[in-house]
């Protein structure tokens, strides 16, 4: 499997010269010394061309410097580096720091938003935030309370701000934003509170709202064309979403958009996934619940959807589809294809043609997955593209107030939002995974604005008949749909991976280790225990001629919510507290950036 020439390299590095990309972002990404976007580039590959640190010398890494964020709870995302300045964020209250890398990390400015702490109560799974964005001399912060702020990158001065949602209804934010052309692409959280999910484009210079596309609802709200927007090659038809819901349930139907966004400048398409339908009790929402659990490909200018693909119709397990879309140009069975690879919460690794939405590969990336026997790959079949549900693990068929046991994966999925990486040198994807199963008991729940709208009680535990741990770090072949190697971990791997031209891959563990492994074989080459569990995403940059590796420590997120929020009831944290109870034996709360270097 070989990469197709310079086009693929340009895509991987985010260096497309297409006029449609934001020039400042494209320029910043093309400078490999910087880390100017959360996922490394528009293609979400989390790959760096920096190669001073190699599989031969990575064992010599040492701590170069550290920075305390001053905030506890879960630290997701990563810093950005643009020029000589590093921009660091925290979880709620979402403090932003600008550090001068040319002057011993001196704090150039800090921004401390004033938010109503009541928003914490309506944040589903910890007060995490997945990071800042940069474009046109501005740093963008999407606060927990959904206030979107544009800060002057040099001074921290607020240039504009706008409110994207309503926390009193349960709308919050945990995700980063994506600058594309003259727009900022922004999502929303709150699927556990019965909101109607959406993606919105704001003008980068003024904050003016340019378009908003809902995940569920009427065609005009969805920004779809019934005759031109396709699902597996066929037009979706009129009222495709509301006809798949009972009555007005779609108005509180979820489909939130708290994950990652990718962008192909040549196709001018934005790619993202939508979350779970509300409520978690499937009996209360008959139908396919379109378009929750769906990959969307939208025109960046208008927001109109070109194609959609629903991965888990009528979700019965909270398998949100928000995980990152990774864009690559590869040889697919002898033909150059523009591919999109997605590791879904439902445990299936998908490969699609990102231009047409054609489904090419759908295979389990954790052997423990048991809720489905697999996806129907026959285009002539009436169930083409649908997963076949195993009745034993169907939370609806087993009935309301019935505890369905042994479902794999658990609700947090075979992978949650923690982003994978791709190396064009190996043509492999490096995937942090959860090896966790659950018991799931739905119950009837009534909707009230701003109140939890879950309707299920969960408990989680390690997958049976395996290594006994709760995670694996794997290398995946997206064309063959198979695992090349797998490294077992005691706890879920909740850290975003980083692949580099030095032929190594980095990731963090919930106990707090930063690890480096051989990109080809998976051999462990380095590990260092940071002050707290790592749920942040590893990044790299070059300063003063030297390559550095950086990662945020601070245990939390869904897996670490027991520690982060001081919860002890095993069913709290939507079932995660009991499953990860042993984590407190290995780490404690923290909030620190650790930066590594090679010795002089």
Which of 216, 379, 249, 224 is CA-nearest to residue 306? 224
| C-alpha–C-alpha distance, residues 47 and 157, integer Å | 32
Looking up tokens 């990652």 gives: 260
Point out which residues pair with 160 in neighbouring strands: 150
- Rg of the Cα trace of the chain? 22
| C-alpha–C-alpha distance, residues 125 and 398, integer Å | 27
Q: How far is it between the farthest Cα atoms of the chain? A: 67
- Residue 105 near residue 67 (C-beta atoms within 8 A): yes
| C-alpha–C-alpha distance, residues 240 and 224, integer Å | 10
Contacts of 12 (CB under 8 A, 6+ apart): 41, 43, 45, 47, 328, 422, 424
Let me know if 318 is a catalytic residue. yes
End-to-end CA distance of the chain: 38
| C-alpha–C-alpha distance, residues 270 and 301, integer Å | 10
Tell me the C-alpha to C-alpha distance, in Å, between residue 279 and each of 67, 121, 241, 512, 519.
41, 18, 16, 34, 41
- Residue 552 near residue 110 (C-beta atoms within 8 A): no
Catalytic residue among 126, 219, 318, 439: 318
- Residue 172 near residue 165 (C-beta atoms within 8 A): yes
- Residue 254 near residue 278 (C-beta atoms within 8 A): yes
Q: What is the DSSP letter of 45?
A: -
Strands 147-152 and 158-163: antiparallel
| C-alpha–C-alpha distance, residues 399 and 442, integer Å | 8
Contacts of 421 (CB under 8 A, 6+ apart): 40, 45, 46, 47, 429, 430, 496, 497, 498, 499, 505
Point out which residues pair with 254 in neighbouring strands: 196, 277
Q: How far is CA 109 from the centre of its chain?
A: 28
Angle at 359 between CA 357 and CA 364, to 5 degrees: 135
Q: How far is CA 412 from the centre of its chain?
A: 12
| C-alpha–C-alpha distance, residues 528 and 596, integer Å | 10
| C-alpha–C-alpha distance, residues 464 and 414, integer Å | 14
| C-alpha–C-alpha distance, residues 518 and 54, integer Å | 9
Q: CA dihedral in degrees (328, 332, 338, 344; nearest 10)?
A: -60
Angle at 547 between CA 49 and CA 519, to 5 degrees: 50
Q: How far is CA 298 from the centre of its chain?
A: 18
Contacts of 545 (CB under 8 A, 6+ apart): none
Which of 511, 531, 586 is CA-nearest to residue 68? 531
Residues annotated as part of the active site: 318
């Amino acid at each position: 499997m070989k990469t197709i020439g310079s086009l693929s390299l340009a895509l991987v590095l985010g260096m497309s010269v297409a006029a449609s990309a934001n020039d400042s972002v494209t320029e910043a990404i093309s400078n490999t010394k910087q880390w100017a976007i959360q996922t490394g580039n528009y293609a979400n590959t989390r790959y760096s061309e920096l190669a001073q640190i190699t599989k031969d010398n990575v064992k010599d890494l040492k701590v170069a410097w550290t920075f305390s964020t001053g905030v506890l709870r879960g630290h997701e995302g990563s810093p950005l580096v643009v020029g000589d300045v590093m921009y660091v964020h925290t979880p709620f209250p979402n403090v932003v720091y600008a550090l001068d890398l040319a002057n011993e990390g001196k704090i150039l400015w800090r921004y401390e938003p004033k938010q109503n702490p009541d928003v914490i109560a309506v944040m589903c799974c910890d007060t995490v935030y997945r990071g800042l964005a940069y474009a046109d001399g501005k740093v963008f912060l999407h606060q927990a309370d959904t206030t979107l702020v544009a800060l002057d990158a040099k001074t921290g001065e607020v240039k504009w701000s706008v409110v994207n949602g309503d926390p009193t209804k349960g709308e919050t934010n945990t995700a980063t934003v994506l600058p594309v052309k003259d727009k900022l692409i922004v999502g929303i959280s709150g699927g556990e509170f019965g909101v109607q999910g959406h993606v919105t484009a704001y003008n980068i210079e003024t904050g003016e709202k340019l378009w908003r596309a809902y995940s569920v609802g009427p065609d005009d709200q969805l920004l779809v064309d019934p005759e031109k927007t396709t699902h597996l090659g066929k037009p979706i038809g009129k009222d495709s979403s509301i006809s798949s819901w009972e009555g007005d349930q779609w108005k509180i139907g979820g489909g939130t958009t708290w994950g990652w966004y990718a962008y192909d400048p040549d196709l001018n398409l934005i790619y993202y996934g939508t979350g779970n339908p509300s409520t978690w009790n499937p009996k209360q929402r008959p139908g396919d619940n379109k378009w929750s659990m769906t990959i969307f490909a939208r025109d960046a200018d208008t927001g109109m959807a070109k194609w959609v693909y629903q991965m888990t119709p009528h979700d019965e397990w909270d398998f949100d589809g928000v995980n990152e879309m990774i864009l690559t140009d590869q040889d697919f069975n002898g033909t150059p294809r523009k591919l999109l690879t997605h590791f879904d919460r439902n445990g299936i690794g998908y490969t699609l043609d990102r231009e047409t939405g054609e489904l090419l590969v759908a295979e389990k990336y954790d052997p423990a997955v048991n809720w489905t026997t697999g996806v129907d790959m026959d285009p002539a079949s009436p169930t083409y593209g649908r997963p076949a549900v195993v009745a034993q693990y169907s939370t609806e068929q087993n009935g309301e107030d019935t505890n369905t046991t042994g479902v794999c994966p658990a609700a947090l999925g075979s992978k949650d939002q923690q982003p994978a990486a791709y190396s064009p040198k190996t043509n492999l994807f490096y995937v942090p995974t959860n090896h966790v199963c659950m018991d799931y008991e739905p119950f009837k729940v009534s909707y009230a604005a701003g109140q939890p709208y879950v309707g299920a009680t969960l408990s989680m535990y390690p997958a049976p008949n395996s290594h006994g741990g709760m995670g694996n770090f794997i290398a995946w072949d997206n064309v063959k749909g198979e695992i090349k190697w797998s490294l077992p971990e005691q706890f879920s791997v909740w850290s975003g991976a980083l692949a580099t031209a030095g032929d190594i891959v980095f990731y963090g563990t919930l106990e707090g280790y930063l690890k480096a492994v051989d990109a080809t074989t998976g051999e462990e080459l380095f590990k260092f225990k940071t002050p707290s569990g790592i749920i942040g995403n590893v990044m790299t940059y070059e300063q003063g001629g030297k390559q550095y590796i950086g990662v945020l420590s601070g245990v939390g997120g869904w897996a670490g919510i027991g520690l982060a929020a001081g919860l002890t009831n095993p069913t709290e944290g939507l079932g995660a507290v009991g499953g990860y109870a042993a984590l407190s034996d290995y780490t404690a709360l923290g909030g620190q950036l650790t930066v590594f270097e090679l010795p002089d």
